[in-house]
Amino acid sequence: MTISQNPTFDTFQGLFNEAEFVYRHLGSNETKQADLLSTIGYKDMASFINDTVPEPVRLHKDLDLPLAMSEHAALAKLRAMADNITVNKSYIGQGYSPVRMPAVIQRNVLENPGWYTAYTPYQAEIAQGRLEALLNFQQVCIDLTGLEMAGASLLDEATAAAEAMAMSKRVSKSKSNQFFVDDRIYPQTLDVINTRAKYFGWEVVVGDFETAKSGDYFGALFQYVGVEGDVKDLTDVIAAVKKNKTYVSVVSDIMSLVLLKSPADMGADVALGSTQRFGIPMGFGGPHAAYFAFSDKAKRSAPGRIIGVSKDSQGNTALRMALQTREQHIRREKANSNICTSQVLLANLAGMYAVYHGPGGVKRIATRIHAFATAFANVIREANDSNLSVVHDQFFDTVVIDCGSEKLATQIFENADNVGYNLWRLDDNKLCVAFSETSDQQDFTVLTQLFVSKSHDLPETASLSLDSAHLRTDDILTHPVFNTHHTEHEMLRYLKSLEDKDLAMNRSMISLGSCTMKLNATSEMLPITWPEFANVHPFAPRDQVTGYIDMIDSLQDQLKAITGFDDVSMQPNSGASGEYAGLLAIRRYHESLGETNRDVCLIPMSAHGTNPATAMMMGMQVVVVKTDENGNVDIEDLTAKCEEHSANLGALMITYPSTHGVFEEGIRHICDLIHKHGGQVYMDGANMNAQVGMMQPADVGADVLHMNLHKTFCIPHGGGGPGMGPIGMKAHLAPFMANHTLSPVHNAQKDCSAVSAAPYGSASILPISWMYIAMMGRDGLLKATELALLNANYVAAQLKDHYPVLYAGKNGRVAHECIIDIRPLKEETGISESDIAKRLMDYGFHSPTMSFPVAGTLMIEPTESESKEELDRFISALKSIKAEAMKAKAGEDNWTLEDNPLVNAPHTAAMVTNSEWTHPYSRDVAAFPLPYVRAHKFWPSVARIDDAYGDKNLMCSCPSIENYM
């Protein structure tokens, strides 16, 4: 916002300026917007919008939302909700534990936009810091599980277990259709497994070890440590089931593996679990990074992303995402899974926890946790109270006490609550006490008094009760990275060195189409580290979390007002999970009508790339619908396929505006056509930043929609996660939203199983979106949409004479993103979209989305947060790159198509300062192609990476330190 040098204010409304945040969020003020409009031929915003957004979809009324609030007022309102949350000391366990995040990591990673505003590391040359952090995370998982390989995180423990089930079916040689689950599993994990198994058509068998040994299963899943905290050696049962060709996965407590024998030593094929205990707050359920480790032979069947070691064009070690051809938007309906399911920021935090503490530090913490539990169990045993008994002899952190009667168990449980401690009620007579990293002397004194009516001090000697047969004997975390950065100074510098290798939003715009990389404002981020939002257990008593539920309900109301839907489910903890939850509600609805046969899912070629994979995961038959030359759904083809599949039509998955960047005129007709044939319309919310305040999905005919809170509603991408993907539903679908076995979700039916481990997904990041909507208010949200559309059309208009704009609406306007076609340039010069992406790094920019949804193109989404000046810099870069390509083609100044700045990009500082410069273009052209670059130079830390080398020589563990020298 441009502020006059001599402002005059004659009202208090002007002096308070409650809508100030709106203009902090928008990149261009009204004067600059007028310039943008003029450039593309419009006098005002209204006429531009009339030409851009089809009249039939327009919402000609205000959203039912309050006006904008100032930053301090919104924070104060949220603070009042937080004050209505009771943060008891949590001894609940059940897969979630209190932790201490090292302050140096909280300040310099979690609270640092250099880390949280970065995008998924598809452009590896400018993501080496994040990739190294993820490689560290993988190494932690490899070391602790004993397996050969590990991925770079999944969403949560429960969905990782479901992915293990699916992977077992892919790789198992058994012909069985049954999957065995240990009856010692966490209930929330079983809940998600049951959801996933049903629509794959698999039978889940829950039982004890004897049931596992005697059955015929394609896969088996064991819990280590069990739901009651019991530690059992799984070696024999794993050996027995593997004789039947059963593929074996083990869910393991990551902190317990510091002490316990590894899953690999017991014969497991896969190990998985949550890394929440490595310094990540409970956050009422998330976000938390799940780990997934596996054998080398299973690497092409494993879900999720894998970071691998490769080389760059100069022969230096360089990291990249390996085996990217497994990506769901490339393989579509043939994908292994929908792998937009990572929690990169949380994986970075967990990996850095291990880096900071090192092997000695994590062993001290794990040993202290177990010693606390042992000392507590000893007090119970030595009390000689006939009512109390310790149920299990072998445990890690959780002691289960049988109180002998329901009355005594209730009394202890309630007394604990009264003095600020949450225990877990296992059944009528049994209580769980789960110790953690934060347990201290005072806790021990209080807990012992609660159970034996006499307080005890911690004994002087810390003893272990685990049998030596359960303990690991091998070394862990031996790589130098885990043995170097243990002082805060060294850790601070290590984190800074990694941050400096990455291009994030705090440096320049990231114009990725369909990914909506917009401002993640500081005031939105502040509340996520408030103790009330960070330190609450997802299964805490509801009367302690009234303020949390109020905040979630308030956000649901905001989203209902924006979308027009009757209800919203907050459980899906990613966009991919939202897609799954939306189709799940549709399938359950059809089942309720006795129409289980409705399993055909129509998906236009212009839909979001993750859709086909999700439909396949829901057991649906994917039928692709053609698009016309303008990027719209081919109505004739859609009509024919509706008629062909009318009896079995379940759903249409449509992205609006389309992934081609077009507002389709016929969206209402499309929805009507699907309904006529008995189907439901699932709208993908990937492009919702073009809708807010402008139209409502429910109004145009959608039955369900997922909303990417990490796109339209400002939760940061975090380098490839976290995210949230709540779904809005019409009233007839609302009863079929995901419920939760331990913490029921209001409005959901009792028999509707879960899609995520926690009832409200990654609840701790929901305040970000609440703050955004509150501070933008009714009118500000509409302004954001208008400017997002204007910025995209400005970019398209400025570039169209240099690169063909592939699709547009009937008035020549694009939606919030545009696709520029590189194929003619490649045909003329040999310069590819990949060359342009790499050369943009030399100009200080991250590439737009490359070769999606159309091969050989770049998809650009500038968002409303970018200023005209930043847009102009980006436009200048792309124009300059086109000129460079033509210069190489013409052979000017001895440039050739084989040796020019594009094919050699990106240029590192080492390349440019090398004494042997043999290229026909100058060092200045390589490093500083436009004047603005010199003042704000970002140097890629590696040269162009050899993707093929990395896949042929796959290595996903930390290389020796010499490789980086």
pLDDT tens, residue by residue, 146-167: 999 999 999 999 999 999 999 9
**Residue 964, pLDDT score:** 42
The CA dihedral of 472, 478, 484, 485, to the nearest 10 degrees, is -50
pLDDT of 962 above 70: no
**Residue closest to 824 by CA, chosen among 852, 849, 799, 803:** 803
- Count of CB atoms situated within 10 Å of the CB of 890: 10
**Residue 607, pLDDT score:** 82
**Residue 8, pLDDT score:** 73
- Percentage of the chain beyond pLDDT 90 is 89
Average pLDDT over residues 259-265: 98
What the block records as the tokens of 38 is 């003029």
pLDDT of 2 above 50: no
Beta bridge partners of 17: none
**Residue 120, pLDDT score:** 93
**Residue 483, pLDDT score:** 97
pLDDT of 239 above 90: yes
**Residue 3, pLDDT score:** 46
- Residue 51's Cβ-side half-sphere holds a number of Cα atoms within 13 Å equal to 17
Beta bridge partners of 512: 860
**Residue 5, pLDDT score:** 54
Return mean pLDDT, the chain.
94
**Residue 333, pLDDT score:** 52
SS3 706: strand
Question: Which ranges constitute the DSSP H helices of 677-765?
Answer: 697-700
pLDDT tens, residue by residue, 757-804: 999 999 999 999 999 999 999 999 999 999 999 999 999 999 999 999
CB 191 within 8 A of CB 322: no
The CA dihedral of 57, 58, 64, 65, to the nearest 10 degrees, is 110
**Residues sharing a CB contact under 8 Å with residue 883, sequence separation 6 or more, in sequence order:** none
pLDDT tens, residue by residue, 683-723: 999 999 999 999 999 999 999 999 999 999 999 999 999 99
CB 370 within 8 A of CB 384: no
Strands 219-224 and 178-182: what pairing? parallel
Q: How confident is the model at residue 965 (pLDDT cuts 50, 70, 90)?
A: very low
**Residue closest to 215 by CA, chosen among 233, 192, 240, 194:** 240
CB 589 within 8 A of CB 599: no
pLDDT tens, residue by residue, 525-581: 999 999 999 999 999 999 999 999 999 999 999 999 999 999 999 999 999 899 999
Q: Tell me the DSSP string of 832-895.
A: -HHHHHHHHHHTT-B--EES-SSTTEEEE---TTS-HHHHHHHHHHHHHHHHHHHHHHHTGGG-
**Residue closest to 624 by CA, chosen among 650, 597, 600:** 600
**Residue closest to 705 by CA, chosen among 556, 581, 561:** 581
**Residue 771, pLDDT score:** 98
647, burial (CB in 10 Å: exposed 0-12, middle 13-18, buried 19+): exposed
Beta bridge partners of 805: 820
**Residue 334, pLDDT score:** 59
pLDDT tens, residue by residue, 912-955: 999 899 999 999 999 999 999 999 999 999 999 988 877 777 77
What the block records as the tokens of 627 is 């698009």
pLDDT tens, residue by residue, 342-388: 899 999 999 999 999 999 999 999 999 999 999 999 999 999 888 99
243, burial (CB in 10 Å: exposed 0-12, middle 13-18, buried 19+): exposed
- Percentage of the chain beyond pLDDT 70 is 97
**Residue 276, pLDDT score:** 98
- Count of CB atoms situated within 10 Å of the CB of 639: 16
**Residues sharing a CB contact under 8 Å with residue 633, sequence separation 6 or more, in sequence order:** 604, 606, 625, 626, 627, 654, 658, 664, 666, 670
CB 729 within 8 A of CB 568: yes
pLDDT tens, residue by residue, 30-39: 999 999 999 9
**Residue 926, pLDDT score:** 98
Residue 212 CA to residue 232 CA, distance in Å, equals 15
**Residue 835, pLDDT score:** 98
- What is the enclosing helix (H) or strand (E) of 601? strand 600-604
- Count of CB atoms situated within 10 Å of the CB of 187: 15
Average pLDDT over residues 14-38: 94
What the block records as the tokens of 15 is 């002096």
Sheet of 818-821: strand order equals: 818-821, 857-860, 849-850
Question: Which ranges constitute the DSSP H helices of 172-274?
Answer: 187-200, 209-214, 235-242
**Residue closest to 612 by CA, chosen among 644, 662, 653, 581:** 653
Q: How confident is the model at residue 328 (pLDDT cuts 50, 70, 90)?
A: very low
**Residue 326, pLDDT score:** 47
**Residue closest to 247 by CA, chosen among 176, 169, 193, 181:** 169
Considering the entire predicted model, what is its pTM? 0.96
**Residue 670, pLDDT score:** 97
Q: How confident is the model at residue 14 (pLDDT cuts 50, 70, 90)?
A: confident
pLDDT of 138 above 80: yes
pLDDT tens, residue by residue, 415-471: 999 999 999 999 999 999 999 999 999 999 999 999 998 999 999 999 999 999 999
Give Cα separations from 348 to 274, 495, 950, 955 (angstroms): 13, 10, 22, 19
**Residue 221, pLDDT score:** 98
pLDDT tens, residue by residue, 951-960: 777 776 667 5
pLDDT of 750 above 90: no
CB 232 within 8 A of CB 396: no
pLDDT of 335 above 60: no
pLDDT tens, residue by residue, 843-860: 999 999 999 889 999 999
Q: How confident is the model at residue 338 (pLDDT cuts 50, 70, 90)?
A: low
Composition of the chain by helix, strand, coil, percent to 5: 45, 15, 45
**Residue 67, pLDDT score:** 97
Comparing 903 with 746, the larger pLDDT belongs to: 903
Average pLDDT over residues 736-758: 92
**Residue 933, pLDDT score:** 97
pLDDT of 327 above 70: no
Residue 772 CA to residue 525 CA, distance in Å, equals 10
- Count the residues in the chain: 965
pLDDT tens, residue by residue, 849-898: 999 889 999 999 999 999 999 999 999 999 999 999 999 999 999 999 99
195, burial (CB in 10 Å: exposed 0-12, middle 13-18, buried 19+): buried
